[in-house]
């Protein structure tokens, strides 16, 4: 079973985030071209000419160049990359705030494209396409089978605004395929997964990336929460791999008093540039907690570092990724681009949080090594910052902080292993939890949609003995019942199933409040703000 939403899988999103990094601005290709010609362009041209004239076989020179450029850049640092023209649009769309398509979220189950969500106001909603519909044909061609991938689906459904695509829909209560011709339109890409009140006075905002529209979405979320009575905020940057530096600066500016240093950047060819708070933020006095983990990188670390170094709020979670390099996107004439590291960024106390990358293998395996060393489970296992890095001090209270390997949280919270058993790992890693939740939601959609809100729906699901029903489903898929392990994992299984079912019915606004009920890091943040 392949789980996928319209933006690709979480893992791919994280890797795209690391590729994107922090982008300051684009510069004209001609400037870069002139500099490269002076230094080494002649030798490269000479080698290509020799190959074309004397090599034993014919050579596709453009293809050779495409293969050579990434190898050249790989010798610089882990985040300087080449983006082929064929990939540039999809990579940019992650941060640009919108793309053109039909406006559905989907996953692939049993070799069929299942629509799990329809974007409000999008082209599909306007035509009456519903969650639970199956896409069986695209442009009068059968579109099912083992060869269907998320990439193929998006290639078919996305396209230029104003163009059309014809799909055939199979709906549960209809015997015949339902034909739809959909005109593609702009589909917003939200950076804010959810914003809601956890308590009467504490608001929670989860930020998934720092894109072109993130500041506006972020400000709106905070403002709405404040208007509803929230006076303290938790900003969740876990698994946020970064994005636009400017968006992060604008967001941080909402919390810092005038004259506070937010971040500064500096490189061999880039003079030092300071980002200073203007004092115009509307949330200068609100108590604040930032959540981070090992996948919080780049702009997320700038955010956490600025808040920590200015003693403005508390950082809770686990040590962040450790990316302190700034990339600039340089367009090339054929529609491709180079994202080149041009400077390092430094937190207000002067620390670079970039982890060493001289050993490529160590860099690529760093997160796994942290896990194997026990860092996710015990604060005492964290040694990189304390043992191998220079001490810095926060600007107001003089607290010791460290650079050289990510942001160290003020309060460490280990990963939650309660309920984790071999049975849970099997059903979770195989995707059966999500598959059953979709099947349950699909078969009971009319009943589940009758509840006025996610709380009422959750209360109903609490009466359904979902864990037992799921165990029977999993047994039919080849995972033997184990009453002892099922009992140990019962609360975890129930929580995941309820959250997934609610997401299939009402989206993320119900999913996060339910899934967060077992979030120990979030619970600790609430405790700290409630004091």
323 is catalytic: yes
SS3 (DSSP) at 118: strand
| Helix locations, 376-477, DSSP H | 384-388, 422-429, 432-443, 445-448, 454-461, 466-476
Question: Of residues 206, 209, 323, 355, which has the active-site annotation?
Answer: 323
- The string of DSSP codes covering 463-487 is TS-HHHHHHHHHHHTT----HHHHH
H helix or E strand, kind and range, residue 188 = strand 185-188
Please give the backbone phi and psi of residue 508, each rounded to the nearest 5 degrees, phi first: -70, -25
CB burial class (10 A; 0-12, 13-18, 19+) of residue 116? buried
Q: Calculate the CA dihedral of residues 332, 338, 342, 344 and round it to 10 degrees.
A: 150
Question: Of residues 109, 191, 241, 327, which has the active-site annotation?
Answer: 327
User: Cβ–Cβ contacts within 10 Å for residue 185, how many?
Assistant: 18
280 is catalytic: no
Please give the backbone phi and psi of residue 119, each rounded to the nearest 5 degrees, phi first: -65, 125
Helix and strand counts by DSSP (H, E) for the chain: 21, 21
Question: Of residues 7, 105, 191, 298, which has the active-site annotation?
Answer: 298
- The string of DSSP codes covering 134-152 is EEEEETTEE--STT--HHH
Q: What are the residue numbers of the active site?
A: 298, 323, 327
């Amino acid at each position: 079973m392949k789980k996928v939403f319209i933006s690709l899988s979480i893992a791919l999103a994280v890797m795209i985030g690391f590729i994107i990094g922090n982008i300051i601005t684009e510069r004209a290709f001609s400037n870069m071209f002139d500099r490269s010609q002076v230094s080494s362009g002649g030798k490269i041209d000479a080698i290509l000419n020799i190959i074309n004239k004397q090599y034993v076989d014919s050579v596709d020179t453009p293809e050779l160049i495409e293969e050579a450029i990434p190898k050249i850049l790989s010798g610089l640092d882990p985040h300087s990359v080449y983006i082929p023209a064929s990939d540039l649009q999809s990579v940019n769309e992650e941060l640009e705030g919108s793309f053109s398509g039909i406006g559905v979220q989907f996953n692939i189950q049993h070799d069929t494209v299942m629509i799990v969500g329809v974007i409000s106001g999008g082209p599909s909603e306007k035509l009456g396409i519903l969650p639970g519909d199956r896409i069986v044909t695209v442009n009068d061609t059968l579109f099912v089978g083992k060869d269907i991938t998320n990439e193929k689906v998006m290639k078919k459904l996305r396209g230029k605004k104003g163009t059309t695509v014809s799909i055939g829909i199979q709906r549960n209560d209809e015997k015949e395929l339902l034909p739809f011709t959909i005109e593609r339109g702009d589909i917003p890409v939200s950076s804010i997964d959810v914003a809601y009140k956890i308590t009467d006075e504490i608001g929670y905002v989860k930020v998934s990336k720092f894109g072109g529209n993130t500041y506006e979405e972020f400000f709106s979320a905070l403002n709405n929460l404040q208007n509803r009575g929230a006076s303290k905020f938790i900003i969740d940057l876990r698994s946020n791999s970064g994005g636009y530096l400017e968006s992060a600066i604008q967001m941080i500016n909402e919390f810092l008093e005038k004259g506070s240093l937010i971040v500064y950047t500096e490189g061999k060819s880039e003079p030092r540039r300071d980002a200073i708070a203007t004092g115009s933020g509307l949330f200068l006095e609100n108590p604040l907690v930032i959540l981070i983990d090992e996948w919080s990188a780049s702009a997320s670390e700038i955010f956490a570092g600025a808040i920590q170094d200015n003693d403005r709020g508390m950082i809770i979670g686990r040590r962040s990724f450790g990316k302190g390099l700034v990339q600039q996107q340089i367009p090339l004439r054929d529609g491709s681009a180079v994202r080149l590291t041009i400077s390092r960024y430094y937190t207000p106390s002067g620390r670079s949080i970039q982890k060493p990358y001289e050993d490529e293998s160590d860099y690529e395996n760093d997160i796994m090594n942290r896990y194997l060393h026990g860092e996710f489970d015990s604060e005492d296992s964290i040694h990189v910052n304390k043992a191998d890095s220079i001490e810095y001090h926060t600007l107001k209270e003089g607290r010791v902080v460290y650079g050289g390997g990510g942001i160290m949280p003020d309060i460490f919270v280990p990963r939650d292993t309660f309920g984790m058993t071999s049975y849970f790992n099997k059903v979770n890693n195989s995707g059966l939890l999500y598959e059953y939740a979709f099947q349950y939601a699909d078969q009971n959609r009319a009943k589940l949609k009758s509840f006025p809100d996610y709380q009422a729906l959750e209360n109903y699901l609490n009466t359904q003995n979902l864990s037992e029903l799921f165990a029977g489903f999993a047994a039919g898929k080849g995972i033997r019942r184990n009453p002892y392990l099922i009992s140990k994992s019962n609360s975890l299984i129930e929580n995941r199933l309820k959250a997934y079912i609610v997401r299939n019915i009402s989206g993320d606004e119900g999913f996060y409040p339910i899934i967060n009920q077992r979030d120990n890091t979030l619970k600790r943040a609430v405790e700290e703000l409630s004091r």
